[in-house]
Amino acid sequence: MSNQLSSVLWIYFKRDLIMAFRRRSEIFNPVFFFILTVSIFPLGIGPSPEILQRVAPGVIWVSALFATLLSLERLFRSDFEDGAIEQLLLSKHPTSLLVLAKVVAHWLITGVPLLLMIPVMAILFQLSTETLIGMLVSLAIGTPILSLIGSIGVALTVGLNRGGILLSLLVLPLYTPVLIFGSGLIDAATSHLDYTGLAALMAAMLLLSLTLVPFATASSLRMSVN
């Protein structure tokens, strides 16, 4: 990778981080949504540790999925409105790499804060240390996949005034395998079973997404702009 390309990628990456910190709601809204959604379930189903531990994997994963989905629509929205998308597509540098830089920035803004909340959620659901570790592994691998896959749906709907519902319809079926394997990994950790196979499978899904999704997202952006 040339020094010029590295500098351009860093500029796109840093720009998205700076814009997110100027509009702090982009960081805090998904986190607050995640905390509120997860917190409601123990109030609704009661304090029984057995029930809480049984439902925790699905509850936390579904909440993280919808929190990520909540933040996705803004991934390319401001760039589309101010014309930066056209500049990105006309750049002499690979569009797929520029898109990847933006997706990584999105994950740092949304995925990492969710990971930082996991120990608090573990206390709320009275989870063991093994389950907490499995949950961190599952979400650390899975949330980048959510951001990557979601970028395709955002790119396809960025030109629509109200694309939120269509975005959900597009990406939720693609999220299903990640949700299944992520919850299964946490279940295995809760049952004190070896979950390295599931972790390796999720890591393979992440590598496949890192390889293919930026090209699909770049193509979707061209379709939306044209």
What is the per-residue pLDDT for 142?
A: 92
Residues 6+ apart with CB under 8 A from 181: 142, 198, 201, 202, 205
The domain segmentation of the chain, as residue ranges, is 3-225
Integer Cα distance of 110 and 149 in angstroms: 14
Integer Cα distance of 136 and 12 in angstroms: 28
Query: Per-residue confidence of the chain (226 residues) as pLDDT tens digits?
Result: 566 777 777 877 787 777 777 776 667 788 888 888 888 887 777 767 777 778 888 888 888 888 888 888 777 777 777 767 777 777 777 888 888 888 888 888 888 888 998 888 888 888 888 888 999 999 999 999 999 998 888 888 876 766 567 777 888 888 999 989 998 898 888 888 888 999 999 999 999 999 999 998 888 888 877 6
Token digits for 68?
């990520």
Integer Cα distance of 226 and 224 in angstroms: 6
Q: Does the pTM of the predicted model rise above 0.85?
A: yes
